Structure 1
Amino acid sequence: MSTTPAQPAVDRLSKGFGFAVAAYGLWGVLPIFFLLLAPAGAVEIVAWRVLFSVVFCAILLSVTRGWARLRAILADRRTTLSLGLAGGLILVNWLVFIFAALSGHVVEAALGYFTNPIVTVLLGVFVLREKLRPLQWAAIAISAVAVVVLALNYGAFPWIALALACSFGMYGLVKKRVGGKVDAISGLTIETMWISPIAIGMLIVVGSTAGLTIGTVSALHTTAMVATGVITAVPLLLFAAAARRMPLVHLGLVQYLAPILQFLIGVFVLGEDMPPARWAGFAIVWLALIVLTVDMLVASRAGRQASLQSA
């Protein structure tokens, strides 16, 4: 059976799409996984997540023979420091997300990841000095209206949503600046190594106050706690595999799968309250995302046409 010249590219894109769906799908159902870790609190869960991630990454480095690559990255002081900053940002993100999952704020966490693309655009303006297109400005203005509507509805500032959006947006910015120097396994290893002393300190504080739950609840609970390392690393590896095979525009569209799943879990599985005003706020956010997506697709098409003409 013969194949057309375009078939390898189609297969590559198809595999990339599968990896992306798997990665964002796993991120989308994480709230349910973290609920299984009760009665452990957010601080204990995050601390074990950091330490078991280091262990799992060490196993992966041994299997893939990546220790030489890791040592080469560690020799680059600037890159290592950047990954330390990334580790601090992801530590904040994990703490806020797990707190949201355990305290009945999964819908607000979903809002944070829906808002993340807008934050990324703003970081491009204020940090990278990028110029915005008209539709991007429109998306930001619509998002600002959504934040006001949701703040009035919640009766308080939606700090969980904005903390998640800002911490993950800045994490993405740091990772972008590191660029192609760092592979997924080495990057996560160095990030979690940086924050391991903080994680150990967190466990000492929890152990001396509330008491650690690992090993005291059930075999399933202990296994699930140990599995936080795998749950952390596997979606990142799937995402890295997708990013190598898919255009950034397509990958950006798939990213909405995670907050959509989190939103559905929060509303229909966990039964979180969604009064009409909150629906209105989410509808405005979704409108902003539609505007941003249209702009992204138009810009991508224009870029391809320009490349063809220059070729």
Structure 2
Amino acid sequence: MQTEKSGVLWAVGSYLIWGIMPIYWKNLEHVSSTEIIISRIIWAFVVTLLLILILKGGRHLKEDIQRLWQSQRDFWSLFFASVLISANWFIYIWAVNHGYIVQASLGYYMNPLVSVLLGIFFLKERLSRAQQVAFLLATVGVAILTISYGQFPWLSFSLATSFAVYGLIKKRIHLDALRGMTIETFFITPFAIIYYIWLFMDDGAVFLHANIKTDILLILTGVATALPLVMYAKGVQRIPLYMAGFLQYIAPTLMLFIGVFIFKETFEKIELLSFSFIWAGLILFTASKVLEFVKMKKNQP
């Protein structure tokens, strides 16, 4: 019981950090989204590698890399996953710094539903009747938003899809969260460094050319990336999967409130109607998963 309680605290802590991150990125809106993302990749790699070395996990990291190289399919799948998560980070930061926090929150609300669709197509998973109704409700919500905008919410869909496909790949490759993050950022770091060198040569870099505050915030993007990830990894190991799924809505909900109440983004009746359908679908979906878990526990000897 104590283990589960600590797991909840770790998981909630990670989602709270992810939820308030738009405020952090807004303090860097004078920096291009591209420079922010390459800073995040480089410093995330540095921070996670240092953490591994401090925790004396260097040998395990080396073994993970060797095992990945022996399975070329896993190696290149993880490389593709690292490209996807980098793209997800870029879209998210661009959205926040261009006044689309509400659309970004919608993307992370949609993410679990897209993940389940991928599970149906690629892992041959089946949905219960309640889960089918949940999908229908969420689809209606997205349809209302699409009609009201006059175009499909590509930004939200891109965030949801990139993260869902990333999750699908990660599900098939069993790696420790911290070491996996180190390897993923290692894949992209050489490209990020080359781009940063080009930025400096072209006098386009803000890092070391603006002020101390900006430099510190760019360096701390590594901590902002690694800290909630480690907290999340600690949390999900200690709590049931359905609870982790329920708690994950903390982050997009906080993002939504921050977008509407702090940064005064538009959230009119049509958005409320659309989100209501999506929220109803998510509640029904989560409730069905909870009931499945409880029933499974009861049937266990």
* TM-score under structure 1 length normalisation: 0.92
Moved more, 130-139 or 99-108: 130-139
Kept in 2: contact 1:73–1:80 (CA 8 A) = no
Structure 2 vs 1, CA of residues 210 and 153 (structure 1 numbering), >3 Å: closer, same or farther? farther
1:265 CA displacement = 0.2
Kept in 2: contact 1:116–1:169 (CA 8 A) = yes
Which residue, out of 44, 47, 50, partners 1:56?
47
Write the distance in 1 (CA, Å) between the matches of 2:99 and 2:121: 33
Write the distance in 1 (CA, Å) between the matches of 2:237 and 2:197: 40
- What is the CA deviation profile of residues 82-113 of structure 1, one whole-angstrom value per residue up to 9, with x for unaligned ones? 32122111011001000001000000000000
Kept in 2: contact 1:49–1:232 (CA 8 A) = yes
1:192 aligns with 2:185: yes
1:209 CA displacement = 5.7
**Amino acid in the other structure paired with 2:215:** T
- What is the CA deviation profile of residues 224-277 of structure 1, one whole-angstrom value per residue up to 9, with x for unaligned ones? 100000110011100110011101111111100000000000000000011211
* TM-score under structure 2 length normalisation: 0.95
Corresponding position of 1:116: 111
- What is the CA deviation profile of residues 147-202 of structure 1, one whole-angstrom value per residue up to 9, with x for unaligned ones? 111112222221111111111111111111113xx112210010001111332344
Structure 2 vs 1, CA of residues 207 and 144 (structure 1 numbering), >3 Å: closer, same or farther? farther
For 2:143, what is the secondary structure of its paired residue? helix
Write the distance in 2 (CA, Å) between the matches of 1:199 and 1:147: 35
**Amino acid in the other structure paired with 1:122:** L
1:172 aligns with 2:167: yes
Corresponding position of 1:299: 292
1:12 aligns with 2:7: no
1:208 CA displacement = 5.7
Corresponding position of 1:151: 146
**Amino acid in the other structure paired with 1:17:** V
Write the distance in 1 (CA, Å) between the matches of 2:104 and 2:290: 26
For 1:245, what is the secondary structure of its paired residue? coil
Report the RMSD for the aligned CA atoms in angstroms: 1.3
Which residue, out of 222, 236, 240, partners 1:247?
240
Moved more, 201-210 or 126-135: 201-210
Write the distance in 1 (CA, Å) between the matches of 2:195 and 2:152: 27
For 1:262, what is the secondary structure of its paired residue? helix
Kept in 2: contact 1:57–1:185 (CA 8 A) = yes
For 2:208, what is the secondary structure of its paired residue? coil
Uncovered stretches (5+) of structure 2, i.e. residues with no partner: none
- What is the CA deviation profile of residues 258-309 of structure 1, one whole-angstrom value per residue up to 9, with x for unaligned ones? 00000000000000011211111111110110110111111111111111xx
Write the distance in 2 (CA, Å) between the matches of 1:298 and 1:116: 21
For 1:242, what is the secondary structure of its paired residue? helix
Moved more, 232-241 or 146-155: 146-155
Write the distance in 2 (CA, Å) between the matches of 1:246 and 1:18: 10
Structure 2 vs 1, CA of residues 36 and 122 (structure 1 numbering), >3 Å: closer, same or farther? same
Kept in 2: contact 1:43–1:202 (CA 8 A) = no
Corresponding position of 1:262: 255
Runs of 4+ in 1 over 2 A off after TM superposition: 77-83, 200-210
Corresponding position of 1:40: 31
